Structure 1
């Protein structure tokens, strides 16, 4: 069993008889000597979909669950449900809008490469995205000539509706690479 300090976002824990997917981890370093680092983890309960928050010390042992991962492509929307198809055997995996609301901020129309569905015992648990995605800027303030030397930023709305801070020299219509976990601009896309 791994320690709490080895847990990463996207892993699934068996905690108090419930399967919990790690959605976010905040690390709190103590100021006192000898105190243990605390890991505040936000989870999504697999069976109910409710958000759960727990705290662990870095050396606490936690029970992880081994998952089956399948590469998928976004297929279509059916009302409030999003259907993804397995790339190998074309099995459809269906998610309710609420299950993947955070992930939808990063999925452009037509989908994106390297998306994975997490399965456990035949049950669909979550949709996992790659680390980065390339999106187009649809709305931002006009670019300022010569602003590439400054480090000031401005908000930009992307094709999916996500708003990120971008350098002042970028303009509407440019493609940028976004770090999904941190929701931040990385660079211009190729």
Structure 2
């Protein structure tokens, strides 16, 4: 049995985003962990995991449609989606004019008064296009509400944004006045 990229991506995401201590990873304040620590931990699972190597990690990252991870020399990190305790440090960036967020209809009612909050994650996740936001929203509801975020106005009012990757932007929170349902 061979390990496929999707299985490897799920395991790497779990290790870097949610429970690095289970993999005995020493992550820095920006979420970087040594590749050799990650590989050692994955190989200890046995079976097809025993053959995981740096080339496999590179292939998984290169072939990924969602670009969740990045390599830099002998270190690796998840680009977004962290639920680890403590705060992953990110560099602020200027967002595009509009961003999008998909959510369940019942959650939209709360967002209208409280704004977008990160919930169990470190940041609010926003999409650069409607299609991605709807896909994300379908994880919560068969009929998600598509929200439009006036990111430029929110940034002008003091909301800090961070680029996750080319499809995902992050924010600490977005005030309700900058969020509306799509037409």
So what's the TM-score if we normalise by structure 2? 0.27
So what's the TM-score if we normalise by structure 1? 0.26
Bigger helix fraction: 2
Bigger strand fraction: 1
